């Protein structure tokens, strides 16, 4: 079941305060319509009672697909603050484990730090793709195109709706203007080869060495690398 709480929310336009019921967690296995709301950016949106301004409240959210058996935890942070999100995530996992009846274990839980990453990760998981291999492909594309697409300025996202049997489709988004700049196709065959190459031996796999923590992001990895 979904969990909600009431929060005091300040309107970013007129600064007035009102109480709003917002989602803390949702299970799209039980309430599939919440998936649509989230993807269309209608979930955790508020309309100000004073000035009618509508805005999205950027807050923590646990997304659970109980039919498919995976979870994604959104802990909103700036990309250069990703480490803070990772540190907090350890505590979240511990709390979630403590709530489970004994003998039960958590399904895989991915960590993301923005709403757009959450939506992307839902597509990646629903398509049965390996999120870390997808990030590795981004890593390759970024490092081969640094003259065109600096990771500081461009977010590369899987476009789930444009993927087909032949190709995976990515889109490059200008981080500042939010404009989608170009589409990029990547052969699914090459993805499959990468899965064989990178993921085989779960504990020693190359992919774990590249993205050891719970937050797998080629962009964050490359930005940190520069600092
Ligand atoms: Zn207002």
pLDDT at res. 181: 87
Q: Where are the alpha helices (DSSP H) in the chain?
A: 33-39, 82-99, 115-126, 131-144, 188-199, 206-210, 218-226
pLDDT at res. 203: 63
Taking the C-alpha atoms of residue 13 and residue 54, their distance in angstroms, rounded to an integer, is 9
Structural contact between residues 183 and 168, judged by C-beta atoms closer than 8 angstroms: no
pLDDT at res. 202: 64
What would the pLDDT profile of 98-145 be if each residue is shown by its tens digit?
988 888 888 989 999 999 999 999 999 999 999 999 999 999 999 999
Ligand 1: centre distance to CA 7 (Å): 16
pLDDT at res. 209: 79
Residue 206 pLDDT grade (very low, low, confident, very high; cuts 50, 70, 90): confident
Ligand 1: centre distance to CA 213 (Å): 40
Ligand 1: centre distance to CA 87 (Å): 34
pLDDT at res. 201: 67
Phi, psi for residue 173 in degrees, rounded to 5: -115, 130
pLDDT at res. 10: 96
Phi, psi for residue 19 in degrees, rounded to 5: -90, 135
- The fraction of the chain above a pLDDT of 70, given in percent, is 97
pLDDT at res. 170: 96
Q: Are strands 17-27 and 3-10 parallel, antiparallel or unpaired?
A: antiparallel
pLDDT of 204 over the 80 cut: no
Structural contact between residues 141 and 155, judged by C-beta atoms closer than 8 angstroms: no
pLDDT of 88 over the 80 cut: yes
pLDDT of 227 over the 60 cut: no
Ligand 1: centre distance to CA 45 (Å): 13
Q: What is the mean pLDDT of the chain?
A: 92
């Amino acid at each position: 079941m979904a969990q909600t709480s009431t929060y005091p929310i300040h309107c970013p336009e007129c600064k007035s305060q009102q109480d709003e019921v917002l989602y803390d967690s949702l299970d799209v296995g039980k309430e599939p319509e919440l998936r649509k709301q989230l993807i269309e950016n209608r979930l955790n949106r508020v309309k100000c009672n004073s000035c009618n301004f509508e805005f999205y409240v950027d807050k923590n959210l646990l997304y659970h697909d109980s039919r498919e058996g995976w979870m994604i935890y959104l802990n909103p942070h700036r990309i250069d603050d990703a480490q803070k999100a990772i540190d907090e995530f350890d505590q979240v996992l511990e709390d979630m484990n403590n709530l489970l009846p004994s003998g039960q274990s958590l399904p895989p839980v991915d960590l993301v730090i923005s709403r757009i990453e959450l939506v992307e990760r839902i597509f990646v998981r629903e398509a049965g793709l390996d999120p870390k291999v997808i990030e590795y492909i981004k890593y390759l594309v970024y490092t081969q195109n640094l003259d065109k697409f600096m990771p500081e300025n461009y977010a590369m996202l899987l476009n789930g709706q444009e993927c087909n049997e032949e190709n995976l489709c990515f889109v490059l988004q200008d981080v500042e203007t939010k404009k989608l700049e170009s589409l990029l196709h990547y052969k699914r065959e090459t993805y499959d080869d990468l899965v064989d190459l990178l993921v085989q031996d779960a504990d020693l796999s190359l992919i774990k060495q590249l993205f050891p923590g719970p937050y797998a992001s080629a962009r964050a990895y490359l930005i940190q690398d520069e600092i």
